[in-house]
Amino acid sequence: MNGIISKFIDKLYFKQWSIGLCRGDIKEIIRSKSFDQNIYWLPLKSFDHFQADPFLIRSKNGNINILHEDFPFDDYYGRISLMTLDNNFKLMNHKILLDTKSHLSYPLIYTENNRTFVFPEAAHSGKLSCYEYDPVNETLNCPQVILDLPLLDSTILKQDEKYWLFGTLYGEDPHNKLYIYYSDNLFGPYTPHPENPVKNSLDGSRPAGNFIKIDNTIYRPSQNCKNQYGESMTINKVNLLNELHFEEEPYMEIFIDRKKHNNKKMNTIHTINILDDIIAVDGSKWTFSPAIQWKVYLKNREQKRQKKDLLKGQSFTFSDKF
């Protein structure tokens, strides 16, 4: 009976991601191993798109800027958008920053020497590129290729005077095989870690946000995809990272507490990023729309064919949220 109900739901409902914000001290959350925040889920204007993968940065006026994936079902590929909110989480402005006419997501923000760089996921191109963010004009400029690989959810850590690039690869194991590349320069060239893939697990491999450093310890947010994509997050404690070896262990889990009133419709959570006392996450809910679900079904069929083309070196479009 449960199988029949599940198939019925799959035909009538689709998974819709949205961004949530809350306030809290990430140091206390990590130390106590407890994420019990009241999340305010930003409203979506319509059900024909979703928003996910939030990364945070202050605007030139001190407001909250969220770079994120913006995915309309009509075009069926992600763009990188910028959402500006005041400190009460009220929306002030929203605009598209980057549209390559093919899928973009996970706009990793990395700041160094008063310059801000954005590394959007663009696995459809088979390459990872870096853009410089102009905070005055709020634009992404001067793209340069960092790695000729279809890396998913690339996340960068600077440690011991080296840059460590983490991610999974689109292909047969996009959620469970973790790869590391390292370089003396942010822009490369990057060398593959000799233990690649350094991890092979559906729980705790695929990145879920920027690294967190607390009490001289490095924590790495990751996705738990054991039962479904982006079901919850596992925060890993990094014990060893060098040019020869990598070791980490599960430290705590972050999941949707459906007992909380704000979370009643939410089911999964798969990204976390922090700016001062502001914590951004994303979560998904099932939304009723047979028309959208039929469109998703047709696009997914097309993507299975395109996946074969990718492995042959051809371009493709896809959404990693399904």
DSSP 256: -
Answer yes or no: is 10 within a domain: no
Query: In whole angstroms, what is the distance from residue 317 CA to residue 314 CA?
Result: 10
Query: What is the per-residue pLDDT for 163?
Result: 98
Beta bridge partners of 156: 165
Taking only the tens place, the pLDDT of each residue in 161-176 is: 999 999 999 987 999 9
- Look up the CATH number of the domain holding residue 195: 2.115.10.20
Q: Taking the complete model, does pTM exceed 0.85, yes or no? A: yes
Taking only the tens place, the pLDDT of each residue in 287-304 is: 776 766 666 666 666 766
> Where do we find the tokens 């890396």?
151
Going from the C-alpha of 276 to that of each of 8, 19, 23, 58, 307, the distances in angstroms are: 43, 18, 9, 10, 40
On whether the CB atoms of residues 281 and 19 are closer than 8 A, the answer is: yes
Residue spans of the chain under pLDDT 50 = 1-2, 5, 314-320, 322
Range of the domain at 236: 31-311
Count the Cβ atoms, other than its own, within 10 Å of residue 113.
Answer: 6
Query: What is the per-residue pLDDT for 112?
Result: 96
Query: What is the per-residue pLDDT for 309?
Result: 64
Answer yes or no: is 21 within a domain: no
Amino acid at 143: P
Give the DSSP H or E segment for 299: helix 290-311
Using alpha carbons, select from 128, 84, 85 the residue that is nearest to residue 108. 128
Answer yes or no: is 5 within a domain: no
Query: What is the per-residue pLDDT for 315?
Result: 46
Answer yes or no: is 11 within a domain: no
Query: How many domains in the chain?
Result: 1
Answer yes or no: is 24 within a domain: no
Query: In whole angstroms, what is the distance from residue 116 CA to residue 121 CA?
Result: 16
> Where do we find the tokens 């440690």?
159
Query: What is the per-residue pLDDT for 317?
Result: 42
Query: What is the per-residue pLDDT for 319?
Result: 46
Answer yes or no: is 7 within a domain: no
Amino acid at 91: L
